Homo-oligomer: A and B are copies of this chain.
Amino acid sequence: MGPGPSNIYPEVAMALQRPLLGHLDPDFLEILDQTCERLRTVFGTDSAATLPLSGTGSAGMEAAFVNFVGPGDAVVVGVNGLFGERMCDVAGRCGAEVVRVEAEWGQPLDIDRVLSAHPAPKLVAAVHAETSTGVRNDIAGLAAGKGEALLLADCVTSLGGIEVRLDEWGVDIAYAGTQKCLGVPPGLAPFTASPRAMERRVEHPQSWYLDLGMLAAYTGPTSGPAARRYHHTAPVTMIMALHAGLGAVLDEGLEVAIDRHRKCGAALQEGLTKLGFELFAADGHRLPELTTVTWPEHLLPAGLDEAGVRRRLLHEYGIEIGGGVGEWAGRMWRIGCMGHTARPRNVTMLLGALADILGR
């Protein structure tokens, strides 16, 4: 129940046991095609350029900038947590002129301020679900006002856990992680870019490994003049795991899975409040899949600091929760309820364990 990885779906565990196929084996290529199609469904997009990248969510972030931003391009980044901060670093390494629009940690981005920060940015970027703070930013609102700019959304912790409707909203570029609400181990970055974005991409990006032009040629059509071309050896086992995780989510029903996340998050947040914790993220912008809390000093038992409580949870109850990051290290917890972990029984167990430790 940390901020990810979450527990994997049983279907994913079974996929990890399947015999290894070659990355050019026709049976594997069919699984790859199905994986891309399933990603389109969960992203809510028809974009052809939708594929799992061969790296973790952070590789998705790098691909999102390196393929669309070059030296001197104006990029507006909304920053209200660690991952918005990281976007500025990554965009800067592409030579972009980075315009930061900050909001306090725990608060959502001010959409109007982000949209008016630069007269004509090439790209506007924000994190949908800030894993460092538990805050949801209004991506639909940004998309509605983006104008000529491309809109980039980090969906690492939102995909499969809350509503993500890229085409309906008008998001051009998005990436996610596998180890959050999709219930798959970390190691791949689901990625998508709209035709509008692909038309404006950097032709020869500074990264060979993440060059979308070459990658799309591998995941693309299997025959005809634009037939599939080898780029790098695909991480076959992880793609089979993602295929199974997406299958589990879609078999349950995407809306049903999202509703499960919603209910678990609500129960957890109510229970934590009753125990005396304070919800950190602004009301109305709280993520159900990632709950952040602080506490009044007297709440923790004498002689046990927050790290001590987390160690007892891990060693006595087998429950992992996450600490705060940045200036909130030692003063905040981040509790995930994502993917296969998002079950009422897990909420009950954590709340019971905390009640034990706090002596409530």
Question: Interface extent on A, as a size class?
Answer: 35 or more
Knowing A2-B22, A20-B5, A206-B94 are in contact, say whether A186-B56 is a contact too (CB < 8 A): no
Q: Which of A1-54 contact B (CB under 8 A)?
A: 2, 4-5, 7-8, 13, 16-17, 20, 22-25, 54
**A230 touching B90, Cβ below 8 Å:** no
Q: Indicate with 1 or 0, residue by residue over A82-126, a CB within 8 angstroms of chain B CB atoms.
A: 000010011001100000000000000000000000000000000
**B177 touching A233, Cβ below 8 Å:** yes
Could you tell me the distance in whole angstroms from the C-beta of A206 to the nearest C-beta in chain B? Answer: 5
Which stretch from A57-65, A162-170, A297-305 is at the chain B interface? Answer: A57-65
Q: Is A325 an interface residue (CB 8 A)?
A: yes
Could you tell me the distance in whole angstroms from the C-beta of A353 to the nearest C-beta in chain B? Answer: 17
CB neighbours of A322 from chain B (8 A): 24
**B238 touching A208, Cβ below 8 Å:** no
**A93 touching B207, Cβ below 8 Å:** yes
**B25 touching A62, Cβ below 8 Å:** no
CB neighbours of A209 from chain B (8 A): 55, 58-59, 61-62
Q: Indicate with 1 or 0, residue by residue over A213-257, a CB within 8 angstroms of chain B CB atoms.
A: 000000000000000001111111110010000000000000000
Q: Is A190 an interface residue (CB 8 A)?
A: no
How far apart are the CA atoms of A20 and B314 in the complex, in Å?
14
Q: Which of A56-81 contact B (CB under 8 A)?
A: 56-59, 61-62
Could you tell me the distance in whole angstroms from the C-beta of A333 to the nearest C-beta in chain B? Answer: 14
**B233 touching A56, Cβ below 8 Å:** yes
**B20 touching A93, Cβ below 8 Å:** no
Q: Is A196 an interface residue (CB 8 A)?
A: no
How far apart are the CA atoms of A237 and B17 in the complex, in Å?
12
**B58 touching A185, Cβ below 8 Å:** no
Q: Is A161 an interface residue (CB 8 A)?
A: no
**A234 touching B23, Cβ below 8 Å:** no
**A236 touching B206, Cβ below 8 Å:** no
Q: Is A187 an interface residue (CB 8 A)?
A: yes
